[in-house]
Chain A
Amino acid sequence: MIKVKRKPFDEITSVVEKYNNILIVGCGGCASVCFGGGLNEVKWLKKDLENFFSTSNKKFSFYVVERACNEKFFTGLENIVAEQSADCIICMSCSAGTQLIAQRFSKIPVYPAVNTVAIAFDVDVGLFKEVCRACGNCIIGYTGGICPVTRCSKSLFNGPCGGMINGHCEIDPNTPCAWYEIYERLKEQNRLEELERIIPFIEWKNQIPQIIVQYGYEDKYEKK
């Protein structure tokens, strides 16, 4: 899932200074699961901000939506925004949710309180390892299930650079060499001939914002 991490506290306080009625919104999806923006984090941020701004009379309120990336879950949020008449929303969901909230409540300034870091899997409680950069061109089947775009420091697409020292990258000795791991994994599965396959380059297609239409739904959205 998408993992988020809270911004440094002084960045958030520098934003909140200008406003008097702040609503903190959390998300019960990815942000909750990675301990970045769930109910607990929203409550602690509210308490920290109240302590920091104890001399000025700012009003803080909070609400957690089920998922911030789909508008049908916004009914409760709309009621709260109307009730509290907030003049600023601090959002602790991933960037997709923050942008949808900003679009829905376009008259109120919306600020993120978290950085959307990566797509990662769980290694242990609170420890996550990034494995995907959403490049839109998934070739991990040919590399034994290991993504060279993310896990190689140089994002080499078709083979190692040759600078590996003891299984680790020459750039950072604490990063394992992705192509070394790919080699070991393919050897375990007796598929070393996949290493000779040349995969066409992405050529920066992933840097353009994409609209994604799922298979089976094309005729709903086709231009007439």
Chain B
Amino acid sequence: MEELLKKYKSVIKFGLKVCAHCGMCANSCFLYVNHKDDPTYTPAYKFLNSLGYIYKKKGNLSKEDLERIKELIWKKCVLCTRCYCPIGIDIPKLISVARDILRQKGIDGIYEN
């Protein structure tokens, strides 16, 4: 997992440092538009609280953390790759890297019926 964090270090650091927390990405996510009362569907919230959290903690995550991040990036995002960021941060790439990291820890999105 450390290799993944190192391999994508430039993309992750760029995304975390340049995000101006403006919130303009929200209206481009159709899931946010369908659930307007829940601000956790904002794409910036999704990547800041999943990949950003993993990066800050350098991979030492508790079980509750993993469950919370799993819900954020598998239930609340379908990776339709249409998020709009005025600054140009590639949000789908960051969500996909977070999914890779969680898969290495043995957690996968189970699509139950």
Contact = CB atoms under 8 A, between A and B. Distances in A.
B80 to A, nearest CB: 4
B11 interface: no
A63 B82 CA distance: 16
B113 interface: yes
A27 to B, nearest CB: 9
A220 interface: no
Contacts, number: 34
Contacts of B74: none
Interface in B1-52: 28-31, 33-34
Between B28, B31, B33, B34, the greatest number of chain A beta carbons within 10 A of the residue's beta carbon is seen for: B34
Nearest to B79: A33
Contacts of B82: 32-33, 35, 38-40
B78 A29 contact: yes
B81 interface: yes
Contacts of A76: 34
A32 B113 contact: no
Contacts of A66: 31, 78
B30 A32 contact: yes
Nearest to A62: B33
Nearest to B80: A32
A33 B34 contact: no
Contacts of A33: 80-82
Contacts of B31: 28, 66
B101 to A, nearest CB: 23
Contacts of A26: 30
Interface in A1-48: 26, 28-29, 32-33, 35, 38-40
A162 B34 CA distance: 56
A29 B80 contact: yes
B32 to A, nearest CB: 9
Interface of A: 26, 28-29, 32-33, 35, 38-40, 63-64, 66-67, 72, 76
Given A32-B80, A38-B30, 20 more contacts: A26-B30, A28-B30, A28-B31, A28-B80, A32-B30, A33-B81, A33-B82, A35-B82, A38-B80, A38-B82, A39-B28, A39-B33, A40-B28, A40-B82, A64-B30, A64-B33, A66-B78, A67-B78, A72-B113, A76-B34
Interface of B: 28-31, 33-34, 78, 80-82, 113
9 contacts: A26-B30, A28-B78, A32-B30, A38-B30, A39-B82, A40-B28, A63-B34, A64-B30, A64-B34
